[in-house]
Amino acid sequence: MATRLFHISDVHFGVENRAALDAVARAIHDERPDALVCTGDLTQRATHKQYAAAAVWFEQFDMPVWLDVGNHDMPYYNLWERFSDPFRRFRKLHTAVAVQSFESDDVVLLPLLTTVSAQRRWPWSDGLIRPEALNQALEALRPYRDDPRTIIVTAHHPLHGPQVDGPSDTIGGLAAFPSLAQNGANAVLSGHIHRPFDEDRTIDGSQLQVIGAGTLSTRLRHHAPPSYNVLTCKRGERIKVETRILDRQK
C-alpha cells in the first residue's frame, strides 16, 4: 500500500479555469486519494466572493484537505485588514474546509509560511521566510527526526531558484533549505510559479526532493498549460510524481 496525494496550486478563484477544476474534481471523486493538498493562491484578490467560491469547491470532497496561504490570499483592496490581520479570510476558509494536521502510515505533512503582507523589496508577491516562520517549521519537525515516514514540508513559494546554482526569489529560502533537510524533512511541495517540476536538489550538502504544482487558473506562464500532480508516497522511498496536463480551454 501507499499514500496518494493530489497536489494542486494557484487555483486563483476569480480567474479560475473551470474546465480544469471540473477535471480535477472528477478525478478526485473517481480515484479517492488519501488527501488533497493545495499550496496556496486559492484566490486572485482575496475578496469575500472569491473565498466563498473556493469554499464551495473544496467542501465537495469527503477527504482531508490541506491548504497553504499564498501571496494572492491577502486582501488587495482593504489595506487596513492587509496590514492588521492579513490571513483572517484565509483562516476562515481553512477552519471551514481544511485539516490542521495530516499523517498516514507513509507520510507526514508540515507547513512553512513563505507569504508576508509586505517587505522591503518589490514585488511583495515574492516569498520571504521570516526567522519565526522557519523556527515554527523546525519545531514542528522535531518530533519526526527519527520517523521512517516521508516528511513533507509544504509552502507556497519554492525555496530555491530555477537554476541549481542560481539565486532564489524567496528571501531566506536557500538558508531554510539545509535547515529543513538536516532536521528531518525529505521533500518540499510548493506552487507560485505556475510550472510543475520534480527535482532532487542539494544545497550546502543537504538534499531534498522539491516538487512544484502548476496552476488551475487562466493565468498561464512559461507557456505551461493547467496541470496538477498525483503523488505516490511510500515510507523510505522517493515520492513518485505524475504530472497531469489539462486542456488550456477555460
- Residue 218 in domain: yes
Average pLDDT for the chain: 95
Residue 77 has pLDDT above 60, yes or no: yes
- Residue 202 in domain: yes
Residue with cell 520517523: 147
CA gap 160, 146 in Å, rounded: 26
CA gap 217, 106 in Å, rounded: 31
Bridge partners of 207, per DSSP, are 202
Residue 154 has pLDDT above 70, yes or no: yes
- Assign residue 106 the CATH number of its domain: 3.60.21.10
- Residue 237 in domain: yes
- List, for residues 19-65, the tens digit of each pLDDT value: 999 999 999 999 999 999 999 999 999 999 999 999 999 999 999 99
Domain carrying residue 164: 3-245
- Residue 250 in domain: no
The burial class, CB within 10 Å (0-12 / 13-18 / 19+), for 160 is buried
249 pLDDT band, cuts 50/70/90, is low
| pLDDT value for 1 | 84
pTM exceeds 0.85 for this model: yes
- List, for residues 86-111, the tens digit of each pLDDT value: 999 999 999 999 999 999 999 999 99
> What angle is formed at CA 179 by the lines to CA 174 and CA 182, rounded to 5 degrees?
130
| pLDDT value for 247 | 78
Structural domains counted in the chain: 1
CA gap 110, 138 in Å, rounded: 10
Query: Which cell is 40 given?
Result: 496556496
Query: Which cell is 53 given?
Result: 467560491
- Residue 82 in domain: yes
Contact present, 247 and 226 (Cβ < 8 Å): yes
CB-based contacts of 40, cutoff 8 Å, min separation 6: 9, 10, 67, 68, 69, 70, 71, 72, 73, 115, 155, 156, 191, 192
| pLDDT, average across residues 131-136 | 98
30-39, 157-166, 237-246: which has the minimum mean pLDDT?
Answer: 157-166
248 pLDDT band, cuts 50/70/90, is low
- List, for residues 184-229, the tens digit of each pLDDT value: 999 999 999 999 999 999 999 999 999 999 999 998 876 789 999 9
- Residue 125 in domain: yes
The burial class, CB within 10 Å (0-12 / 13-18 / 19+), for 244 is middle
CA gap 93, 195 in Å, rounded: 25
